[in-house]
Amino acid sequence: MPQYEEIKNDENRLRIKVGIRCKEHPKGRIWKTGIYPGVKKGSKKANELERKLIGEAEKEKAIIQEFGTFWIKLVGLYELHAFDELKEGRWPQSRQTLSEAISSLRKWTSEWDDKLAAKITSADVTRLLNKMKAKGKAGSTLSKMRGDIKKVFEFGIIHELINGVSKSPTIGVSVASRRRKRTEILQAAEIKKLLVCAKEFEPNWYFIWSFAVYTGARVNELYALKWTDINEQERTITIQRGYSKKYKTYKDWTKNGDWRTVSICEPLQEVISELRARNTFEKSNTKKDFSDYVLPRPGMFQNWSQAEKTRLFCKEIGITPICFHTLRACFATELLKRGVPIPRVMRVGGWKSLKTMMHYVRLSGTDVTGTTDPLDFRGPEPDKKTEDQALMKAVGAEFDTRGMGIADVVDLSLYR
């Protein structure tokens, strides 16, 4: 019997605790507890109170079954579904991006854990985003959180885990958009100056920056790069692992969950040869084991302060101050300027989003180069017949120019 007599502050009282099974509840059972001074265990009054608590639990179970699952359980089911889809190659996000999204959801929406998902409103979402904003989170982070909440709700609605709701509570919740500023990147002459000065004044960083510029690899991929990944005979580098700063461990996949191969250009081959010679010399003098990892580990590289280091050094040598990750953009834009097709740049750099790549295309200027060259109003007017043919070719219609004006378009059905 779930009735317990106890004494507190010289007062006899009865504690009654009842529980009923409920698979939709995050704890698997709904518990109800009541404390009643002066009530005897097993008495008629005690049994009435016990039945009342059971009734309250049954009523709550009925509400849960009517509206669906709790938020914490919905997030857990969404996580299982997403990772299953990821294994089958049907999920648009990488493993790392998905893990970060789930972790962020659990952190920021923890106050919703004991709340039915169907009862979460637009006001709740707004309060959450305002809370994140007050904590100094950027607009892009707020927008991502809103998008992740929307994905969880859409999953719940589609799989009938949420009842009585047909749309996500994120609908109508706006996030102040930030105007995207033009990314500052290094021009070819500045890249050359960066590497020349680094070789003289920052030899350790010279190797790191060179690999970043010539491979387009992310910082965690460079940190995890091994000598076994370099095939000098075939002149290729395989980017297949990264380092997780959060978990302080190496992982056998890159950000987008895939591996890629980068060809070794002549300047990078020289850098690799210098690194081998230097490491061999150090090994012969110190008699230490040869490191499996390619790049040196200066303090600010180990402390993940590479962005600050890069920006400060750029200022010191008088070039555009950029962060370390911008060297990846420099890699992409310089390839595009030199005529490398967009699909090849995406493949070698590990980009899967065309939207991201088009940003680099705009930075390179290759999408507008020569666009206005045909404009010339200094010469004679264009021939009428040539003009008509050009215009109709542009709209994809057939046009008979014999004795006809620009507005006389022949019905295409007459030619079938």
pLDDT in tens, 158-211: 988 888 888 899 998 988 765 556 668 899 999 999 999 999 999 999 999 999
Q: Which of 39, 67, 95 is the last residue of a domain?
A: 67
The tokens of 294 are what? 């390619």
Per the structure, the count of domains in the chain is: 4
Tens of pLDDT along 278-326? 877 666 555 555 578 999 999 999 999 999 999 999 999 999 999 999 9
- How far is Cα 287 from Cα 9, in angstroms, rounded to an integer? 74
Same domain, 272 and 336: yes
Q: How far apart are CA 85 and CA 289, in angstroms?
A: 42
Cα 384 to Cα 196, 312, 402, 404, distances in angstroms: 58, 61, 11, 10
Same structural domain, 116 and 261 = no
Looking at the fold, whether 208 and 272 belong to one and the same domain comes out as: yes
pLDDT in tens, 229-287: 999 999 999 999 999 887 788 887 777 777 899 999 999 999 999 999 887 766 655 55
Indicate if 283 and 308 belong to the same structural domain.
yes
The verdict on residue 376 lying in a domain is no
pLDDT of residue 28: 73
* Structural domain containing residue 123: 71-158
Percentage of the chain beyond pLDDT 90 is 43
Q: What digits encode the pLDDT tens for the residues 326-355?
A: 999 999 999 999 999 999 999 999 888 888
What CATH number is attached to the domain comprising 295?
1.10.443.10
* Residue 335 shares a structural domain with residue 213: yes
- What are the tens digits of pLDDT across the range 62-109? 666 666 788 988 898 899 999 988 888 888 887 878 888 999 999 999
Q: Report the Cα 155 to chain-centroid distance in Å.
A: 19
Same domain, 343 and 207: yes
Is 214 part of any domain? Answer: yes
**How many CB atoms neighbour CB 57 within 10 A?**
18
Residue 369 lies in a domain: no
**pTM listed for this prediction:** 0.61
Is residue 199 domain-resident?
yes
